[in-house]
């Protein structure tokens, strides 16, 4: 076995990425404060051809050296948009036919492994602040809440890791672009 070299990976250029069909998934960052988490989430969105990332509230915007450190250029390939408050972002998404899903431990939530997304629907996954989670204002506008099953003592996963899990689940369930 040998490690595959970067030149062998068939990476898309930024221009090819921009014109490629995207999965019908937008990640909404609701007051995510860590610049490293923001960069990591942008990189995940790039890896799985997500439609966009919406940055809301205190969530920082590119260009920023600390975002770039983990995004590794994904801040240039992935479409992103800033909203001063998450409610405006969610209202825009809802008016454009997106199903809004808070990634949160909430009453009436659905365990991620039990969730069946619909093939002909567009989704927006709302990821919250590292300590406080998805805001009450955002949760009130969401159509559902998805929870990653956990068995340890923390019942808390880093938001960037959480994004990777829920995006991979979306891809793994066969949602096409």
Is a pLDDT exceeding 70 seen at residue 174?
Answer: yes
Three-class SS of residue 121? coil
Nearest to 174, CA basis, from 114, 123, 113, 117: 117
User: Could you tell me the pLDDT band of residue 175, with boundaries at 50, 70 and 90?
Assistant: low
161, 168 Cβ separation under 8 angstroms:
no
List the single range of 17-21, 113-117, 118-122, 173-177 with lowest mean pLDDT: 173-177
Nearest to 47, CA basis, from 86, 87, 9: 9
Cα 45 from Cα 22, distance rounded (Å): 10
| The predicted structure's pLDDT at residue 93 | 98
Averaged pLDDT of the chain? 96
In this prediction, residues 6-23 reach a mean pLDDT of 95
Is a pLDDT exceeding 80 seen at residue 80?
Answer: yes
Is a pLDDT exceeding 90 seen at residue 177?
Answer: no
Domains of the chain: residue spans and CATH: 21-172 (3.40.1280.10)
Beta bridge partners of residue 82, listed in sequence order: 55
Nearest to 155, CA basis, from 133, 124, 126: 133
DSSP for residue 11: P
Is a pLDDT exceeding 90 seen at residue 46?
Answer: yes
32, 38 Cβ separation under 8 angstroms:
yes
> Rounded to the nearest 10 degrees, how much is the dihedral formed by the CA atoms of 115, 121, 161, 58?
-130
Share of the chain above pLDDT 90, in %: 94
List the single range of 70-74, 85-89, 118-122, 127-131 with lowest mean pLDDT: 118-122
The owner of tokens 């990640």 is 27
| The predicted structure's pLDDT at residue 77 | 98
| pLDDT tens digit sequence for 108-121 | 999 999 999 888 89
């Amino acid at each position: 076995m040998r490690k595959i070299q970067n030149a062998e990976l068939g990476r898309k250029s930024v221009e090819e990425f921009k014109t490629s069909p995207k999965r019908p998934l937008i990640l909404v960052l609701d007051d995510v404060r860590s610049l490293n988490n923001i960069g990591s989430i942008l990189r995940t969105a790039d890896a799985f051809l997500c439609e966009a990332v919406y940055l809301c509230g205190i969530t920082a915007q590119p260009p920023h050296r600390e975002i770039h450190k983990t995004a590794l250029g994904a801040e240039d390939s992935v479409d992103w948009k800033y909203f001063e408050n998450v409610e405006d972002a969610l209202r825009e998404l809802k008016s454009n036919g997106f199903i809004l899903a808070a990634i949160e431990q909430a009453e009436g939530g659905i365990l991620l492994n039990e969730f069946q997304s619909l093939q002909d629907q567009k989704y927006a996954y709302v990821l919250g602040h590292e300590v406080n989670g998805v805001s009450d204002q955002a949760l009130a506008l969401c159509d559902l809440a998805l929870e990653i099953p956990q068995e340890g003592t923390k019942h808390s996963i880093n938001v960037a890791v959480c994004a990777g899990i829920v995006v991979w689940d979306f891809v793994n369930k066969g949602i096409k672009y």
